[in-house]
């Protein structure tokens, strides 16, 4: 294959190596070949771990899909050492809540049920117990509970009402099931994901729902030995629920699993995707990094530290982000520019950076000298696209971000003095934040800035000023004072 044709083919494969970096949209057939088993992450499936915490985009949904929906744990566990797991051939993994499908209530159904009711912990404790029983219908052998299984999943009133009619039999049935599982040497693990979708625009309501769920498993995690839970929580929801959660949260916090990504694991994830995206791209990678054939779960890169990925990144993008060292090292640039305000880089933006840069380079009609695939400007332009997409996807969880962009227009250049941005956002803070009832989880401008720093949308600089990381810069319509002009 001629040089430019070869480059074009490799860029085409790279631009399609992931579903826009989102686990939710990943092709189920490809998913086993892209999921990277990280030992620190798989600790989430230790039977004694209930809370699994990570920031938005850290891969909580990917873990959920890998184990609960795809059953990959037995296939990848051989590659993992030092992680305590239940007996994999004697364990069932069930979904305790997910926004996908009709087994659970949608957000409108959830809100309709709560209309006129006090959102107490007790109400949510009953709700979660009712749906837990429905999830375990295939395991529970008790005809008296038939009325609980009859309503549709979205009819919360009917489900909770039926639970109240059979509450004594229901609780006894759960105890009996746990005893039977212990006799049989089995585990049933119930996993809860996407809890932030219960009430996107109402932080207090979401926190109440989370507290009720934690109260359920806090009170039963010692009572039940073989019925276990995994509650996947976004970091900011965890922090707020923990503050208000009291003793229930304290019981589970000490043994939580944190989903974070080292630079080594990020590069391993990226190279695993590249190496499993087509024969030509795999051979291109193998010239710089060893890849091990894992059979049906695909190829795994031999990356023991981040520096092991440098030769491949430099083969793809060159050594420097321009004519020389003053423009920065490409190897460091690709991670540093997808970090959020907390300094964390996550899989989704990194994958999208390479996908988008491949598209930009193909569309440019220009070709770098082989074997490079990118010019520096392709990465820079791709970064703006990644930022815009990252903010756009965040609207599902933070719909008020759209109006934040509008409010920031008069202050388009970062960084800002802290007092300046506090006062600016405090003006008209009580007005509507865009369409519907979307509002940020704050009472004034200062609290909002603190929240945005906490979740990484903003960054607090050492000199006291407030900045926005490149990951959010273009997406919020901002630019950096004295920044390099995009060509």
My answer on whether 160 and 145 are in the same domain is yes
pLDDT at 335 over 70: yes
Report whether pLDDT(82) > 80.
no
pLDDT confidence of residue 296: 87
Of 245, 379, 255, the C-alpha closest to 317 is 379
277 and 251, same structural domain? no
Domain check: are 66 and 195 in the same one? Answer: yes
Length of the chain: 487
300 beta partners: 292
**Residue 53 sits in the same domain as residue 200:** yes
For 379-432, the pLDDT digits (tens) are: 999 999 999 999 998 887 888 999 999 999 999 999 999 999 999 999 999 998
Helix 156-165 and helix 107-114, axial crossing angle in degrees, nearest 10: 60
Residue 289 and residue 276: Cα distance in Å, rounded? Answer: 13
User: Among residues 281, 487, 300, 305, which one has the least CA distance to residue 371?
Assistant: 281
Distance (Å, rounded) from C-alpha 439 to C-alpha 446? 15
The CB density around residue 257, as the number of other CB atoms within 10 Å, is 20
Asked if the structure places residue 33 within a domain, the reply is no
User: Tell me: the pLDDT tens digits for 248-270?
Assistant: 677 788 888 889 999 999 999 99
Average pLDDT for 441-452: 94
CA angle 468-474-480, nearest 5°? 50
Q: Residue-wise over 293-328: b if at least 16 C-beta within 10 A, else e?
A: ebeebbbbbebeebebbbebbbbbbbebbeeeeeee
For residues 48 and 78, state if they share a domain.
yes
Give every CB contact of residue 343 below 8 A, 6+ residues apart in sequence. none
Residue 60 lies in a domain: yes
> Tens digits of per-residue pLDDT, 276-290?
999 999 999 999 999
| 164 shares a domain with 72 | yes
Confidence at 484, pLDDT banded by 50, 70, 90: very low
Interval 345-357 mean pLDDT: 94
Please indicate, yes or no, whether residues 61 and 209 belong to a single structural domain of this protein: yes
Could you tell me the pLDDT band of residue 93, with boundaries at 50, 70 and 90? Answer: confident
**Dihedral of CA 295/301/304/306: which sign?**
negative
Domain annotation covers residue 416: yes
E strand or H helix that includes residue 96: strand 91-97
What are the angstrom distances between the C-alpha of 53 and each of 68, 195, 209, 244?
A: 17, 12, 16, 17
**Is 169 found in the same domain as 83?**
yes
Q: What is d(CA 121, CA 128) in angstroms, rounded to the nearest whole number? A: 10
169/103 same-domain check: yes
Residues 77 and 220 in one domain: yes
pTM of the model: 0.85
Return d(Cα 184, Cα 397) in angstroms, integer.
41
What is the spatial distance between Cα 112 and Cα 133, in angstroms, rounded to a whole number?
22
For residue 188, the surrounding DSSP H or E stretch is strand 187-192
Most confident among 78-82, 267-271, 293-297 (mean pLDDT): 267-271
pLDDT digits (tens, 9 = 90+) for 210-244: 888 988 998 888 899 999 999 988 888 888 777 66
28-73: pLDDT as tens digits: 788 888 888 888 888 888 888 999 998 888 888 788 788 777 888 8
Determine the structural domain holding residue 102 and report its residue range. Answer: 39-258
Where residue 89 falls among pLDDT bands split at 50, 70, 90?
confident
CATH number at residue 162: 3.40.50
Hey, what's the torsion of the CAs at 167, 168, 169, 175, to 10 degrees? 110
Spatial CA neighbour of 239 closest among 257, 255, 220, 253: 253
């Amino acid at each position: 294959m001629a040089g430019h044709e070869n480059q074009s083919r490799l860029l085409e494969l790279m631009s399609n190596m992931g579903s826009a970096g989102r686990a939710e949209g990943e092709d189920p057939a490809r998913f086993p070949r892209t999921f990277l088993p990280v030992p620190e992450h798989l600790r989430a499936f230790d039977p004694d771990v209930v809370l699994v915490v990570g920031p938005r985009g850290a891969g909580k949904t990917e873990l959920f899909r890998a184990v609960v929906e795809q059953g990959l744990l037995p296939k990848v566990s051989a590659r993992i050492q030092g992680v305590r797991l239940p007996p994999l051939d004697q364990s069932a993994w069930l979904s305790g809540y997910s926004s996908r499908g009709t087994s659970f209530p949608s957000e409108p159904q959830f809100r309709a049920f709560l209309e006129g009711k006090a959102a107490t912990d007790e109400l949510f404790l009953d709700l979660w117990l009712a749906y837990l029983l429905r999830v375990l219908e295939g395991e529970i052998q008790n005809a008296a509970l038939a009325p609980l299984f009859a309503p549709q999943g979205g009819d919360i009133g009917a489900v909770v009402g039926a639970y109240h009619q059979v509450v004594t039999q229901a609780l006894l049935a759960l105890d009996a099931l746990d005893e039977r599982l212990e006799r049989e040497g089995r585990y049933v693990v119930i996993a809860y994901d996407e809890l932030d979708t219960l009430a996107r625009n109402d932080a207090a309501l979401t926190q109440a729902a989370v507290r009720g769920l934690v109260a359920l498993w806090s009170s039963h995690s010692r009572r039940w030995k073989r019925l276990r839970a995994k509650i996947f929580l976004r970091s900011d929801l965890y922090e707020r629920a923990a503050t208000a959660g009291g003793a229930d949260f304290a019981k589970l916090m000490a043994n939580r699993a944190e989903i974070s990504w080292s630079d080594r694991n990020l590069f391993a994830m990226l190279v695993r995707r590249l190496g499993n995206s087509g024969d030509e791209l795999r051979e291109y990678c193998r010239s710089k990094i060893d890849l091990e054939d894992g059979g049906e779960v695909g190829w795994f890169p031999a990356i023991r530290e981040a520096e092991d990925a440098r030769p491949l990144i430099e083969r793809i993008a060159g050594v420097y982000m321009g004519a020389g060292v003053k423009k920065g090292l490409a190897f460091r640039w690709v991670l540093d520019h997808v970090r959020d305000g907390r300094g964390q880089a996550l899989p989704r933006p990194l994958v999208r950076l390479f996908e988008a840069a491949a598209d930009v380079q193909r569309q440019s009609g220009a070709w770098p000298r082989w074997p490079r695939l990118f010019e520096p400007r392709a990465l820079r332009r791709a970064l703006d696209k990644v930022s815009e997409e990252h903010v756009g996807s965040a609207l599902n969880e933070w719909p008020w971000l759209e109006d934040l962009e509008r409010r920031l227009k008069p202050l388009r250049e970062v960084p800002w003095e802290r007092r300046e941005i506090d006062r600016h956002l405090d003006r008209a803070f009580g007005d509507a934040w865009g369409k519907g009832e979307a509002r940020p989880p704050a009472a004034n401008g200062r609290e909002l800035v603190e929240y945005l720093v906490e979740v990484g949308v903003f960054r607090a600089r050492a000199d006291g000023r407030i900045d926005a990381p490149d990951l959010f810069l273009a997406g919020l319509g901002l630019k950096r004072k004295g920044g390099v002009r995009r060509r």
